[in-house]
């Protein structure tokens, strides 16, 4: 699954001075991608990948401002995506927020190159504030 979309209400009251941030959502579960989009609300552009290979392709194509990454991805695992992002000159500085249902420790994931860590199930408001923090930084 590969999709690029903007949030529904483009230009409805948001200042035009700022380019809208692009978030790459990598999760094989369509319902969760939708939940993440809905949690973020308006004001972002989204690219969506349903597996690790597509995630890397899209990341190189759009150079997102943030990657939200599920660790359990088909074809190319989330940890592998994380490693490849860190190896890529143009993508190294893109902040990565990891969402996982597995039992990895926060330390392991942060050590692997992630900037933030959220476990399933997550609170949409927590996710949004984490994303805002990372994007603002």
Applying CB under 8 A, which residues contact other proteins? 28-29, 31-32, 34-35, 38-39, 41, 51-52, 72-75, 77, 101-103, 119-125
Of 92 and 101, CB closest to other proteins:
101
Of 90 and 129, CB closest to other proteins:
129
HSE toward the beta carbon, residue 40, CA cutoff 13 A: 27
Of 69 and 114, CB closest to other proteins:
69
For the record, the structure tokens of 4 come out as 């690029």
For the record, the structure tokens of 85 come out as 């992002």
Least distance from other proteins to the Cβ atom of residue 52, Å: 8
Whole-number Cα distances in Å, 114 to 33, 122, 123:
19, 17, 19
Check: CB of residue 134 under 8 Å from CB of residue 46: no
Provide the 10 A C-beta neighbour count for residue 118: 19
Least distance from other proteins to the Cβ atom of residue 93, Å: 26
Least distance from other proteins to the Cβ atom of residue 71, Å: 9
Per DSSP, the three-state class of 35 is helix
Least distance from other proteins to the Cβ atom of residue 28, Å: 6
Of 45 and 51, CB closest to other proteins:
51
């Amino acid at each position: 699954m590969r999709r690029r979309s903007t949030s529904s209400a483009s230009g409805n009251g948001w200042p035009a001075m700022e380019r809208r941030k692009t978030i790459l959502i990598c999760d094989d579960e369509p319902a969760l991608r939708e939940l993440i989009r809905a949690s973020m609300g308006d004001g972002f552009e989204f690219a969506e990948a349903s597996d690790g290979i597509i995630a890397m392709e899209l990341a190189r194509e759009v150079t997102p401002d943030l990657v939200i990454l599920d660790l359990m991805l088909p074809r190319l695992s989330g940890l592998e995506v994380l490693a490849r992002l860190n190896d890529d000159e143009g993508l190294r500085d893109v902040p990565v927020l990891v969402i996982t249902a597995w039992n990895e420790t926060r330390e392991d994931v942060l050590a692997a190159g992630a900037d933030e860590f959220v476990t399933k199930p997550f609170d949409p408001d927590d996710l949004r504030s984490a994303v805002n923090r990372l994007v603002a930084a």
